[in-house]
Amino acid sequence: MGTKTPSEADILRPIGSTSTTYFVMVAIAGLAFVAFLVGWAYQLQEGLVVTALGDWGSGGGATWGIYIGAFIWWVGIAHGGIILSAAVRLLGMDRYMPVARLAELLTISGLSAAGFYIIVHLGRPDRMVTSVIGHYHITVHGSPLVWDVTVITAYFVLTATYLGLTLRYDVARLRDQLPDRLDPIYRVMTIGYTKKEDAIIERMVWWIALAIIIMAPLLLHGGVIPWLFAVLPNYPTWFGGVQGPQFLTIALTSAISGVILLSFAFRRAYDWDHIITDDIFRGLLLWLGFFCLLFLWLQLQQNITGLFKAPIDLTIAALARATNPIYLTSMSLVFLTLSYIFAQSIRPALFTKRRAVVAGLAVLTATILEKVLFVVEGFLHPTFDIYEAVPGVYVPGLIEVLSILGTIGMVCLFFLTVAKIFPVVELHAIEHLRDGHESVNDHHE
């Protein structure tokens, strides 16, 4: 723990101070987002033909590519983020309380990016109304894609409620120190608030956290999302029970990596070394290593069952995946990250926060590569061969690549904006750290 005592002024610093670096970050993130919006506008005008996506019968290739792969990636980051926050509350992991709200905000922004991908991939945004919402009472009974939209919407509402309840406590107590220009927002956030509700809200948040932990493996990134692929037997690299736990481990590794990056950025920007301590980074790295190990183990399970005396169609598909340079790069990045985490746990001198950031970036790169390849390979090596003689490959187009940069820019803009409205570190975390700091000082005295 740092020598400084954490205070309310610390967590309010992002709201009250704006540096040149802040405006540079806004400009970079905004440029990335606008670049994709321009590409999307062109796609809306010309159609999905401007992407590298193709129908099997007209030119071969894959009908799903980066759009769906990145959609899964963002959903995984979002689900893993709220699981991390819920675990902090449910399991009493007070050590990570300073980064819990960052994880919650990562969930909101990640789900927004994922939902944006659904609209982009539809080709025509109005289809969301005419095909999905307009016929929901019919499609919900037979379409895993609509189940997907349903659980993501439910999760967004659940997370927003979860976040809103905790924000009421902070805003009510810090209102005198918050800017008057944002008073309409704060008044809406604290409608009907009294201190008597604190105990009730604490219980409500606990129950919501429990619901999130239960829903994650059953309905979210351990359930409905992998079921989109796992229940299709004509796609050898998709079909099978391993997809649920594999998707869940990818979600958790990605989310922890994202929290590491966000924690480093806010700590450096606002001098929060006494709030987001080295101890938090060490702990996050150990959890990242644990889930990286599970991720590699489940990949090994999938490769062994696909390559050892498997049916011919599965062998072909599994061999194509296992020898693909993109797949090998992805697995190597996760393995190298795991090796570093293992080494620094044995020799603590190897730990630095910058290396933790590099580890996070490596895992995020690995998971986006793996998820895009996972989607594409399923289409390129199906069991049925009706289009076997139709040549087709998939190489992402510029607009698709820009979509990744654009949604990352969108999420960055979200954090840059939110940090100017309310604290991204909970007041409860500061109170807990301050109590611990005072106890340490009393002990020394």
Measure the CA–CA gap between 186 and 180, rounded to whole angstroms. 9
Measure the CA–CA gap between 87 and 249, rounded to whole angstroms. 15
CA 251, 252, 257, 262 torsion-angle sign: positive
Measure the CA–CA gap between 354 and 70, rounded to whole angstroms. 26
pLDDT tens for 205-258 read 888 888 888 887 777 777 788 888 888 888 888 998 899 899 999 999 999 999
CB 173 within 8 A of CB 427: yes
- Give the pair of three-digit tokens for residue 93: 């992991």
Q: Would you state the pLDDT for residue 390?
A: 63
Q: Would you state the pLDDT for residue 339?
A: 96
Measure the CA–CA gap between 72 and 117, rounded to whole angstroms. 10
pTM exceeding the 0.85 threshold for the entire prediction: yes
- Give the pair of three-digit tokens for residue 305: 């069952």
Percent of the chain with pLDDT over 70: 93
Measure the CA–CA gap between 330 and 90, rounded to whole angstroms. 33
Angle between helices 427-444 and 8-16 (to 10 degrees): 140
Measure the CA–CA gap between 374 and 358, rounded to whole angstroms. 24
Measure the CA–CA gap between 124 and 127, rounded to whole angstroms. 6
Residues of the chain with pLDDT under 50: 1-2, 440, 442-444
Query: Whose CA is closest to 427, among 17, 105, 93, 6?
Result: 6
pLDDT tens for 27-76 read 999 999 999 999 999 999 998 888 888 766 555 678 888 999 999 999 99
Q: Would you state the pLDDT for residue 439?
A: 52
